Structure 1
């Protein structure tokens, strides 16, 4: 599990872009295309802005989201809106290669099932099977949540689905499940800020409670990367 502590957030962004570009090129070389799940939040945004400046075969990328707030795609809180403005609208990715979570209805459960079927159709996998994305980007909240898998919520126990409902208070979200995240070929956490240290201490501990700190659930069959800035990672050695 590579854990890298970068001097500042700018260095974290540069390192993340470097790894992502390498993984994109490797996936395309091996399989002819690359599947990439995006994270929301403030830390990934400059990563997306830098990725928009790369020279990549955009038509060979397929973009997904690891979680999404249950708001329209043009809402200020939408992860899709942020990623489109920072990156996807700036490059020649075909519209059919962008696979957002459906959040325009009034029934999150029905939209979760709809996206489940969209994913199974794309990856040609049956119920009970979990496909592997090439790259999954994740953030982590100061409560230890990742994607929309929040502490002590039912979503943490979902083992038979790709998509579940994440609950943060009264706010519902769509989220990849832990088993689906764990099928990733490369899972990359991007974590910045001193406020993340207490949760990171629990997550990196040899023993701990994954129900209290859900990022502990992420133990992928592929590579697991933790990229921390100095403020987040000051207490942790590489």
Structure 2
């Protein structure tokens, strides 16, 4: 299926709609498979969603939490995506610690830590050689340069197709990130994008033709559902008639 695009009047409406959709997909995954696997993103918009999820009554013991990318910093660092999600959500609910699967950043070697996390994914999902995990939910944001996860324009990580986790690069700083094939194997991918500063990149990402290496969010074309939730300020100049499916 193609992408589904919804424009919400405000950031608060975007969070409310995201919460509804994520709850629906969690419930659906647990009903069908007994557990739900969700990969989180960083950023201010997801933080508000995580705080909202923390107020819900969900079967936490059946939800397994991963991250789509992580800055290469200790887990207690202010820039850590893991720390943000723990404070906003995971420390506020009764989720078993074994259900939380952060990306490791302690080896002092990003490549080694990426390989370690790949092994964890392979073991958790009981993968055979060459198989990709199928995440129930992957949450993504988009930067004003068109990047998503830690897949930045014109970086080597965009081309990696033989691994699940690789090393991204942001202005010379390493980050761990899911690869494009892994994200694209998900059952449900949800982008949350807010702010006037996203308009130019969104126009390129939604264009009929544009360079995906320059605007990596274009590379996300999952085998499952693809949803874009935008606030009005981000979507103002888009021609959504040709973008929606």
The interval holding the TM-score normalised by the smaller chain is over 0.9
1:103 is paired with a residue of what secondary structure? coil
Partner of 1:113: 115
> Which residue in the other structure is 2:44 paired with?
42
Q: CA deviation at 1:126?
A: 2.2
Deviations 1:62-95 (A, max 9, x none): 0000000000000000000000000000001100
Give the 5 Å matches for 1:56-205: 56-205=58-207
Q: What number of residue pairs does the alignment pair up?
A: 238
Cα separation, 2, equivalents of 1:83 and 1:104: 19
Give the secondary-structure state (helix, strand or coil) at the position aligned to 2:101. coil
Q: Where in structure 1 do 4 or more consecutive aligned residues deviate above 4 Å?
A: none
1:172-231 superposed Cα distances (whole Å, 9 cap, x missing partner): 000000000000100000000011010000000111111000000000000000000010
SS at match of 1:85: helix
Give the Cα–Cα distance (whole angstroms) in 1 for the partners of residues 68 and 154 of structure 2.
Answer: 19
Name the SS for the 2:176 alignment partner.
strand
Q: With the length of structure 2 as denominator, give the TM-score of the two structures.
A: 0.96
Unaligned runs of 5+ in 1: none
Partner residue in 2 for 1:7: 9
Kindly report which structure 2 residues correspond to 1:28-39, keeping only aligned pairs within 5 A, or say none.
28-39=30-41
Q: Quote the RMSD (CA, aligned, Å).
A: 0.7
Q: Aligned-pair distance for 1:169?
A: 1.3
* Deviation string, structure 1 residues 109-157 (Cα, Å, up to 9, x no partner): 0000000000000000123111110000000000000000000000000
Long gaps (5+) in structure 2: none
